[in-house]
Amino acid sequence: MSNTRKRVYGYLAEFKSASALYKAAAKVRDAGFRKWDCYTPYPVHGLDDAMGLKRSILPWFVFFGGITGCATGFALAYTTQVVIYPTVVQAKPTNIFTIPAFFPVLFELTILFSAFTVLFGLLGLIQLPRLNHPLFASKQFHRATDDGFFIAIEARDAKFSPEGTRDLLAEIGGDNIELVEEEEN
């Protein structure tokens, strides 16, 4: 313990149910906090509004991912079949009118590229994978993936204050309020 300094991550408070968490989240939002999150074992529908979150922008990424896939499929099929290596089989033409025969490949590559965009876009948006997180230092946080409902308010939020935030969490119904600290190396 000699040289390890600790940095405060923030406060973690437990709530007894999804509906208690939902009501508390709206109050934290109205108190003007920005850097905070609700931790739940399953997606609680409606919490986005209670937290003031916007709709995910992932669909836009996927839209462009899909277009890229379709264009890749077209470039691949057209270049190889019409430009580089035209072969007449089944009496099908080797020009722009061959496109209907490329549809299955265009379709599959659209889906494939879109799915990869979903995966990597999601990982980018939620900033994963990461090996550790200060919250994992908490003794009760493991219940967030089991049956616990938590709110964590980070210390780097402009409105954070050691007493005020704790009092707010207690006032809106939080139990087991814990100051989460991360070790600094």
Interface with other proteins (CB under 8 A) = 17-19, 21-22, 25, 37-48, 50-51, 53, 55-56, 58-59, 62, 76-77, 80-81, 84-85, 87, 89-90, 92, 98, 101-102, 104-105, 107-109, 111-112, 114-116, 118-119, 121-123, 125-126, 128-133, 135, 142-147, 152
CA–CA distance, 10 with 33 (Å, rounded to integer): 12
CA–CA distance, 136 with 126 (Å, rounded to integer): 17
**Residue 27: CB minimum distance to other proteins, A:** 14
When the beta carbons of 41 and 164 are compared against other proteins, the nearer one is: 41
**Residue 145: CB minimum distance to other proteins, A:** 4
Distance (Å) of CA 29 to CA 37, 113, 184: 10, 37, 30
**Residue 67: CB minimum distance to other proteins, A:** 14
CB atoms inside a 10 Å sphere around CB 26: 16
Sequence-distant (≥ 6) Cβ neighbours of residue 40 within 8 angstroms: 18, 21, 47, 144, 149, 150
When the beta carbons of 135 and 155 are compared against other proteins, the nearer one is: 135
CB atoms inside a 10 Å sphere around CB 46: 12
When the beta carbons of 2 and 49 are compared against other proteins, the nearer one is: 49
When the beta carbons of 118 and 179 are compared against other proteins, the nearer one is: 118
Q: Tokens 């070790």 correspond to what residue?
A: 183
Q: Give CA 42 to chain center in angstroms.
A: 14
**Span between the terminal Cα atoms of the chain, in Å:** 12
**Residue 159: CB minimum distance to other proteins, A:** 18
When the beta carbons of 113 and 160 are compared against other proteins, the nearer one is: 113
Omega of the bond leading into 129 within 30 degrees of 0 (cis): yes
When the beta carbons of 5 and 89 are compared against other proteins, the nearer one is: 89
**Residue 68: CB minimum distance to other proteins, A:** 14
**Residue 66: CB minimum distance to other proteins, A:** 8
